[in-house]
Structure 1
Amino acid sequence: MKKFYAARPLLGLLFVFSVGTVKAQQDVGDLFVSGPADATKLVNAYFDPLYKGLGVGLSDGWNNTARSKGLFKFDVRVSASAAFVPQSARSYDVNALGLSNIKPAAGSSSIGPTAFGADEEGGRMQVYTSSGVPTGKFFNLPQGVGFHVVPSAQIQATLGLPKNIDVSLRAMPKIKLGSDLGSLSMIGFGAKVELLPLFMGNSERLVPVDIAIAGGYTQYKYNLPLNIDNTANSDQRIDAKFSGVNFDAIVSKKIMFFTPFASVGYQTSKTDLKALGTYSFATSATTSATYTDPIAVKQTDVDGLRGSIGFQLKFGFFKFYGSYTAAKYSMVNAGIGLGIGQ
């Protein structure tokens, strides 16, 4: 079976931090034959849980305690999140997408799995011309990966500054994942302010907990050169940006080496994905179509409140983290850290 080339780059990004082999999928050329508008709608429907799952994961794992670090104290942490795809987001109905030139073939289902749906092909589709004439082209909706968790990862360094402020950096230089998976980079910035010392100074605290406000911004960039049925069109590529912003109020209580915490906040995430270049396809035995920059996705995927509970364990220089977050997609986060100070 031909591979679904639109799926490979995004799933490649996903599996940098996880497991598995990208499933063989239907050639994206079959989608382009129907025109960029229909192709964009199908790509959006198929990858919707990836957009949302990665969106909530981007802003996860910034803080596991409200207490700020001492001046110039620091730590480095690596953590991973898993966002759970609900049942309603594991499939889609092409009849609900408003497609112009694609319809289910006679006697075929209109349902297809999303990227995190069942590991089986969806219904068989037939492609029509803009005037409603069948082109003779058929394809099956692409299959899912067979599991329902969207993973993401965070690599973060945090430094304590004056006035009970922490600043954090998330960074990964551009790395090449191989000729089939393109390149990936990450950048992010965050800050946290512990509130009670601002009002109570260093005197004995009347409130037996730590309280802070925090915020962060994270962005993944992904690029993949393509060569889809067009060896002469070397400008084909996928350019994608996934960005997330969060603001949180945090309360925690240190009990020896154990620090439980809870937080409430707001998060938003956006996807900006483009299939760029020139793509030419045969639409019949005697006709062809050429599309330039055929797919453009620019949208807000997550925009709402979230709540988290979790803990930090500290043993000397080593720290262990864990948390659960209720948001657009619920998720868990776990990680380890190494550093000096709280």
Structure 2
Amino acid sequence: MKKPFLFKPVMALVLLFGVQKVSAQQNVGDLFKSGPADATKLVNAYFDPLYKGLGVGLTDGWSNTAKSKGLLKFDVRFSVSGAFVPQASRSYDVNALGLSNIKPAVGASSIGPTAFGNDEVGGRMQIYTSNGLPTTTFFNLPKGLGFHIVPSAQIQATLGLPKNIDVTLRAMPKVKLGSDLGSLSMIGFGAKIELLPLFMSGTAEKLVPVDIAIAGGFTQYRYDLPLNINNSTGSNQHIDAKFNGVNFDAIVSKKILFFTPFASVGYQTSNTNLKALGTYSFDTGNGSSVNYTDPISVKQTDIDGARASLGFQLKFGFFKFYGSYTAAKYSMVNAGIGLGIGQ
């Protein structure tokens, strides 16, 4: 029989984005009981909408106008996004995961809610030996959060350069979320080039009623969570997670006094690289114990496809307000505020 691996702390990934207020070291061992391979598949299935929703959020909110900033003009902005989890991503079927030693208990459902699924306990599972014999170990698939929107945030500063180019930096230094919640940091960079001034003289450019630009960006969230699961000195238990997003967009906009509507089409991709690192020791229940080293690894592309956005910018003196809607694999909305000088 494969010895049970109790994977407790991954629920913290939900908390770190402000989704629910529970302890990151909360014991979810009763919810995930399997060998490392099965635990990875269950974690992957449960958090799939988090990966995808966060992925589209990483690529969102870069620009709300095609007009580039004037030389050395700048602004800083803060915005938040919410990705809508589709119905098909609110639950999963363990029978479709290819698990080795977990099956639904007799008469139980094989369906469980994902992290952003319904707030109800999933099907009752039973652990089996490597020979296919049932054991007396049972657990229920974990509850969802009861709502279906994945939040993310963007903090950025933009500076105008020569040749109708502006560059944007996204950054957040490592922030400790609490003694049990680990730390979170963000880094990203992007650029936008306004096209018409490159190909037209000033007079000819004025004959075109809109501004047109191309833009791209990269954003990374990094999360680290120290763990203490049946810990011993030198075990170095922790979660190390990276979430990356890349986007390219073509943007068209039109300034009308203080109001600038825009539309864009583009491509986005995102990936997750999450590991549970360190040495973990568990009692097998028969007087012995089993050790696992670096037992969980998730490395995958979550989002890879086209997107289209509609939105606006409102400018009142130094202050700006933004809003947009993006149609993609996970549709989303974005809203934010900014402060700056110049267009």
TM range (shorter): over 0.9
Tell me which moved more, 44-53 or 285-294. 285-294
The alpha-carbon deviation at position 201 of structure 1 amounts to: 3.1
The alpha-carbon deviation at position 31 of structure 1 amounts to: 6.8
> When the two structures are superposed, what TM-score results if normalisation uses the length of structure 1?
0.94
Matched letter for residue 94 of structure 1:
V
Q: What's the CA shift string for 1:84-119, capped at 9, x where partnerless?
A: 001110010111111000111122111111000111
Q: What's the CA shift string for 1:172-195, capped at 9, x where partnerless?
A: 000100012100000000000000
Tell me which moved more, 80-89 or 199-208. 199-208
Asked whether the equivalents of residues 259 and 313 of structure 1 are also in contact (C-alpha less than 8 Å), the reply is yes
Q: What's the CA shift string for 1:266-285, capped at 9, x where partnerless?
A: 00000000001111222333
Partner of residue 138, structure 2 = 138
Tell me how far apart the structure 1 counterparts of residues 286 and 49 of structure 2 sit (CA, whole Å): 37
Say which SS state the counterpart of residue 228 (structure 2) adopts. Answer: coil
The alpha-carbon deviation at position 133 of structure 1 amounts to: 2.9
Say which SS state the counterpart of residue 70 (structure 1) adopts. Answer: coil
Structure 1: segments with no counterpart, 5+ residues: none
Partner of residue 9, structure 1 = 12
Q: CA RMSD in A?
A: 1.9
Tell me how far apart the structure 1 counterparts of residues 287 and 128 of structure 2 sit (CA, whole Å): 15
Tell me how far apart the structure 2 counterparts of residues 22 and 206 of structure 1 sit (CA, whole Å): 58
Asked whether the equivalents of residues 24 and 180 of structure 2 are also in contact (C-alpha less than 8 Å), the reply is no
- Residues 169-188 of structure 1 correspond to what in structure 2 (within 5 A)? 169-188=169-188
Partner of residue 325, structure 2 = 324
Partner of residue 276, structure 2 = 275
Q: What's the CA shift string for 1:264-313, capped at 9, x where partnerless?
A: 00000000000011112223333432211111001000000000000000
Structure 2 CA distance for partners of 1:137 and 1:283, relative to 1, 3 Å: farther
Tell me how far apart the structure 2 counterparts of residues 319 and 238 of structure 1 sit (CA, whole Å): 38
1:219 matched to 2:201: no
Aligned residues: 337
Asked whether the equivalents of residues 90 and 116 of structure 2 are also in contact (C-alpha less than 8 Å), the reply is yes
Q: What's the CA shift string for 1:103-147, capped at 9, x where partnerless?
A: 111221111110001111111111122222333221111111111
Structure 2 CA distance for partners of 1:34 and 1:47, relative to 1, 3 Å: same
Asked whether the equivalents of residues 65 and 313 of structure 2 are also in contact (C-alpha less than 8 Å), the reply is yes
> When the two structures are superposed, what TM-score results if normalisation uses the length of structure 2?
0.94
Asked whether the equivalents of residues 25 and 142 of structure 1 are also in contact (C-alpha less than 8 Å), the reply is no
- Residues 217-296 of structure 1 correspond to what in structure 2 (within 5 A)? 217-232=218-233, 234-296=235-297
Partner of residue 164, structure 1 = 164
1:307 matched to 2:319: no
Partner of residue 211, structure 2 = 210
Tell me how far apart the structure 1 counterparts of residues 49 and 164 of structure 2 sit (CA, whole Å): 38
The alpha-carbon deviation at position 203 of structure 1 amounts to: 2.6
Stretches of 4+ moved more than 6 A in 1? Answer: 23-26
Say which SS state the counterpart of residue 21 (structure 2) adopts. Answer: coil
Asked whether the equivalents of residues 9 and 238 of structure 1 are also in contact (C-alpha less than 8 Å), the reply is no
Tell me how far apart the structure 2 counterparts of residues 214 and 23 of structure 1 sit (CA, whole Å): 40
Say which SS state the counterpart of residue 146 (structure 1) adopts. Answer: coil
Tell me how far apart the structure 1 counterparts of residues 29 and 291 of structure 2 sit (CA, whole Å): 11
Q: What's the CA shift string for 1:138-165, capped at 9, x where partnerless?
A: 1111111111000000001000000000
Structure 2 CA distance for partners of 1:138 and 1:229, relative to 1, 3 Å: farther
- Residues 56-95 of structure 1 correspond to what in structure 2 (within 5 A)? 56-95=56-95
Asked whether the equivalents of residues 269 and 302 of structure 1 are also in contact (C-alpha less than 8 Å), the reply is yes
Tell me how far apart the structure 1 counterparts of residues 279 and 313 of structure 2 sit (CA, whole Å): 51
Percent of pairs identical after alignment?
A: 80
Partner of residue 148, structure 1 = 148
Structure 2 CA distance for partners of 1:83 and 1:288, relative to 1, 3 Å: same
Partner of residue 122, structure 1 = 122
Asked whether the equivalents of residues 29 and 228 of structure 1 are also in contact (C-alpha less than 8 Å), the reply is no
Asked whether the equivalents of residues 127 and 135 of structure 1 are also in contact (C-alpha less than 8 Å), the reply is yes
Asked whether the equivalents of residues 236 and 278 of structure 1 are also in contact (C-alpha less than 8 Å), the reply is yes
Asked whether the equivalents of residues 254 and 260 of structure 2 are also in contact (C-alpha less than 8 Å), the reply is yes
Asked whether the equivalents of residues 320 and 338 of structure 2 are also in contact (C-alpha less than 8 Å), the reply is yes
Structure 2: segments with no counterpart, 5+ residues: 1-5
Matched letter for residue 8 of structure 1:
M
Tell me how far apart the structure 2 counterparts of residues 25 and 75 of structure 1 sit (CA, whole Å): 39
Tell me how far apart the structure 2 counterparts of residues 308 and 43 of structure 1 sit (CA, whole Å): 31
Tell me how far apart the structure 2 counterparts of residues 295 and 4 of structure 1 sit (CA, whole Å): 9
Matched letter for residue 340 of structure 1:
I
Structure 2 CA distance for partners of 1:125 and 1:180, relative to 1, 3 Å: same
Asked whether the equivalents of residues 29 and 281 of structure 1 are also in contact (C-alpha less than 8 Å), the reply is no
